[in-house]
Amino acid sequence: MNRQGRTRDESNGHANRPATESLNARLESDIMATIAVDGSDLVVRLSALEKIGALRGNIRLPLASVREVRVSNTPWSELRGIRAPGTGVPGLISLCTRRGPGVHDFAAVYGRRPLLVIEMTGVSFDRLVVSCADAAGAAARAADITRASGLARAPR
């Protein structure tokens, strides 16, 4: 038996899952980009690793430039243009500026997580496409941004 009163088999099996799940949640929150309203600005805060991968720093844009906010459960179909510059592995990660004819987007997309798609106008990016840990959190953030930016429509 170990100090926790578990046998060797128990300590190597499912008994350690809650600690692992907690660690995964903590790593996820420390690594994934966050979107916040700061006064009259919309801010995408990137972790240190994301800044390296995206080859850029945090993004700060005026809330008045937000045209539409929505939640998407099909992350990879939301990406437009090509990655230039940044990091990308199809189906796994897209952490980059995306460019194409009439397209200038920022993406922080991870796996199949739900994401916020924020349509902008009159600023350096046309869209911000950012993964969230869960759909409920994404919907709550979308509602906050919609309310703060003064958009008449609720997010879809």
How far lies 101's CA from each of 2, 72, 126, 133, 146, in Å? 62, 23, 12, 31, 28
Is the pLDDT score of 30 beyond 60? Answer: yes
Cα atoms found within 13 Å of the Cα of residue 34, Cβ hemisphere only = 10
Q: pLDDT tens digit string along 136-145?
A: 888 888 899 9
Contact predicate 155/118, CB 8 Å: no
Closest among 77, 32, 81 to 54, alpha carbons compared: 32
Q: Which two tokens stand for residue 7?
A: 């046998």
Is the pLDDT score of 21 beyond 60? Answer: no
How far lies 113's CA from each of 6, 28, 71, 110, 124, in Å? 36, 12, 11, 6, 25
The residue whose two tokens read 């690594």 is 31
Largest separation between any pair of C-alpha atoms in the chain: 65
Is the pLDDT score of 85 beyond 60? Answer: yes
- The CA distance from 49 to 127, in Å, is 22
User: Given this structure, which CATH class describes domain 32-149?
Assistant: mainly beta
Examine residue 85 and say whether the peptide bond preceding it is cis (omega within 30 degrees of 0): yes
Q: Which two tokens stand for residue 148?
A: 């703060």
Q: pLDDT tens digit string along 35-61?
A: 999 999 999 999 999 999 999 999 999
- The CA distance from 36 to 110, in Å, is 19
For the chain, give every domain's residue range. Answer: 1-31, 32-149
